[in-house]
Amino acid sequence: MDKRQDLQKAITKFEKPWPNDNLIANYLDFLHHRDLIIYHRFNPVVFEHLVDLTLFHWTASQKVSRSSLVMTIRRYASQQEADLNTLDLSVKTKVFELFKLTLQRPEFIPQGQRDEVGKWAAQLMYGLLLDGTQLNDLCELASHHPKALNRILRYPSQSVIISNWVSAHFEHPVLRLRRAEAVGWMVDTNPEFEVDDAIIRRDFEHMNDLDRSAVTNLVMGDAVNELFNTDWLSEFPIDHTIPQDPFDSPQKPPNFAFGKDRIELIKRFYPVPTVHDKTADNWVPDFEALESFFEANHASLLKVTMVWGIAYSRIDKKLKSKLLRKYYCPETHYSISRVTTKQGLLEVLKWMLKQLK
């Protein structure tokens, strides 16, 4: 531990000095100040310089730590609880461009750091209001990039652009696992909207297909793992070196992650009966029992989906309360209780209490 640096960090945390506008003008300045800048008060000019520096060096030939730049930008904003919506439109545009770079030009980040860097850039987008052109760009990215899809579905205010995109892609595979959030965007523009029972059925079948594929991949993975543990591997060695990313050092790939308990199934909001599969040597969904459950409960599943769709919507509380009452029944009681408690819908809670008398 560097005692001097540790003490300087503690002092800076207490004093929270105001950074000069030109504190970080180039990459050498960044290297000198990156450990302490996050404890300085938020200066929009310094923040913009950090973003500019990252955008400039993203595709440049100079060897720089892009991951460190993005992490510092994110930590500076979050540590100082900065509201990025107060920044000039030009600065917000640069933040959005940085987010897009992490999705569209990830090759300049070492393979093992790409997901983390993308997460940091996405965190800068939390609650950030965009103009129409940027929202269209974000919608275009959403079909291919989960982080862009998250920013679309969790956008903080109503947007006809997003509602139209969701409507046009309502049965796209990327929305089948995010049905309630998609419903929320439909409710934004049409409070009388109700998802069709046939779509709930197709969502269910899509999740089953994904889980069946996961089970199949587990079985095949075990077979491949067994194959890689045979004697022929020592007789015919494989070069495991991953081709280098630009300015990156050679890496070794992770060990094969096959075998028992490595299966990843779709997370559902209803109980999934399981059965032990000898071939997979694992507990897997009992698809016959799931089918029976769905047939008996699909109407309730639709109502619960609508409840959470209303919760995710950006309509006013008065209208939201009215719609939640519409879907109240014993099967939705727990969901509506959670929604109303979290969103402070006191009148609905009192109304629910009366229904139990």
Residue 4 has a pLDDT of: 87
Residue 248 has a pLDDT of: 39
Q: CB pairs under 8 A, 24+ apart, for 209-216? A: 210/266, 211/265, 211/266, 211/284, 211/285, 211/287, 212/287, 214/263, 214/264, 214/265, 215/263, 215/277, 215/280, 215/282, 215/284, 215/285
Is the pLDDT at 193 greater than 70? The verdict is yes
In this prediction the pTM is 0.83
What are the pLDDT digits (tens) for 87-134? 999 999 999 999 999 999 999 999 999 999 999 999 999 999 999 999
What are the pLDDT digits (tens) for 195-233? 999 999 999 999 999 999 988 887 655 444 443 444 444
What are the pLDDT digits (tens) for 36-77? 999 999 999 999 999 999 999 999 988 999 999 999 999 999
What are the pLDDT digits (tens) for 126-152? 999 999 999 999 999 998 999 999 999
